[in-house]
Amino acid sequence: MKILHLYKDYFPILGGIENHIKWLAEGMAARGHAVSVLVTNTGQSDLSETIDGVRVVKVSRHFNISSAPIGLGMAGELRRMGRDADIVHLHAPYPPGELAQLLVSAGKRTVITWHSDIVKQAGLLRFYAPFLRATLKRADKILVASPPYVQSSVFLRPVYEHTPQKISVVPFGIDLTRFAQNSEIAAQAAGIRARYGPGPLVLFVGRMRYYKGLRVLVEAMAQVESARCLIVGVGPLEVEIRAQVAALGLADRVLFAGEVGDADLPAWYRAADIFCLPSIHRSEALGIVLLEAMASGLPLISTELGTGTSWVNQHDVTGLVVPPEDPVTLAAAIDRLARNDDERQVFGQAALDRAISEFGLVQMLERTEAVYRNLLDDKRSASEGSQAERR
């Protein structure tokens, strides 16, 4: 198969969607498919290169609208690259990419992975919503990472009600072997524990963005004396969060590790006792960090957003689910797990078992490849049927 992915950024730009596309593209290339990616460049020049078996074309970036980079040459390049593509795979939301495919109709079949609703850019959405609905209507298949997101999305629910066969659940997957315990990871984890003090240690990993709920986590930690919190990551709210920690006198219990490279992340998970993702908006559609924590055998604390986070983290099975924007209940959940070693162990083992059964990279690749093949088989059957009727 010839597969073309379309989004705004690709490796070495790092992010949840960017990582997902990279794993999917490289995994399909390793399975023998011809895989290309079309994105925008970070500068005003076109670039074509091959990265780990994937052809990556980056069109010149001219300007940005609501954090969406615009490359005026994207539609033309999509027409050229998609001329002989079997599958054009969009990753939404990225309005310029979706509009380009709406205009060009490249490839034999169009697949959309719906990563998240547009939440923050309400003004843009008012203008863009009709085009987005048209893109969803024209798509051959829409992939979502969890069942709850289909029902809670104002865009996906109508599609499901009228054409349920158009939507398939394909859970995101990660390379579980990266997070398996070994002597090197254990040694690194021991060093981290020595640096940040005795546990129980609550871990947060991610960008410091508005929807991650770090302000709520810090408020909760002001009510928790049974644990420390370690924040791994940087982002636009870092100055604000650090100031909040200082104002609440929590400098000895809320600690900042800064940015940690992907290669070192497994050790940080292994150094922790509890993982917490306190997100407050449905921009958090699933949470890849939840999968990484599960693969590391950690019990989870997450929030009920109506998205996939509470489908990944099953309440009282793999961890605890609390309301968003509720520091009191979050503090109680942290305190409960921090004071109960046996419960942490039971939840952590259940989390690991669930990661292995549902969220491995191999499962994601197999499920996605099956979607591609079924779409092409359906198109081939329809074409053969039409030819038979003409005869």
- The structure tokens listed for 133 are 């609905």
CATH class of the domain whose range is 176-358: alpha beta
Structure tokens at 125: 């959405």
pLDDT at 313: 98
Q: Do domains 2-173+360-390 and 176-358 have the same CATH topology?
A: yes
pTM, rounded to two decimals: 0.89
Q: Which residues sit opposite 333 in a β-bridge?
A: none
Question: What digits encode the pLDDT tens for the residues 146-172?
Answer: 999 999 999 999 999 999 999 999 999
Output the pLDDT for position 283: 85
Question: What is the spatial distance between Cα 59 and Cα 77, in angstroms, rounded to a whole number?
Answer: 8
List, in order, residues 6 or more apart from 231 with CB less than 8 Å away.
204, 208, 214, 241, 254, 255, 256, 257
Cα 150 to Cα 75: distance, rounded to the nearest angstrom: 29
The single residue listed with the structure tokens 């942290």 is 334
Rounded Cα gap, residues 307 and 312, in angstroms: 10
Rounded to 5 degrees, what are φ and ψ at 24?
-70, -45
Pairing type for strands 47-51 and 54-59 reads antiparallel
Q: Cα separation of 195 and 190, whole Å?
A: 9
User: Alpha carbon of 87 to those of 106, 139, 360: distances in Å?
Assistant: 9, 11, 23
Q: Please list the ranges in the chain whose pLDDT falls under 70.
A: 119-123, 379-391
> Can you list the positions of beta strands (E) in 76-124?
87-92, 109-114
**Do the Cβ atoms of 237 and 210 come closer than 8 Å?**
yes
- Collapse the DSSP code of 33 into the 3-class scheme (helix H, G, I; strand E, B; otherwise coil) and give the result: coil
For residue 3, the surrounding DSSP H or E stretch is: strand 2-6
- For 128, the token pair is 């863009």
d(CA 277, CA 280): 9
CB 124 within 8 A of CB 66: yes
Residue 291 · residue 297 · CB < 8 Å:
no
Cβ(228)–Cβ(274) below 8 Å? no
Close Cβ partners of 144 (under 8 Å, ≥ 6 residues apart): 113, 114, 150, 156, 167, 168, 169, 170
pLDDT given for residue 382 in this prediction: 61
**Structural domain boundaries in the chain:** 2-173+360-390, 176-358
Fold for the domain defined by 2-173+360-390: Rossmann fold (3.40.50)
At residue 331, the pLDDT reads 98
CB 117 within 8 A of CB 154: yes
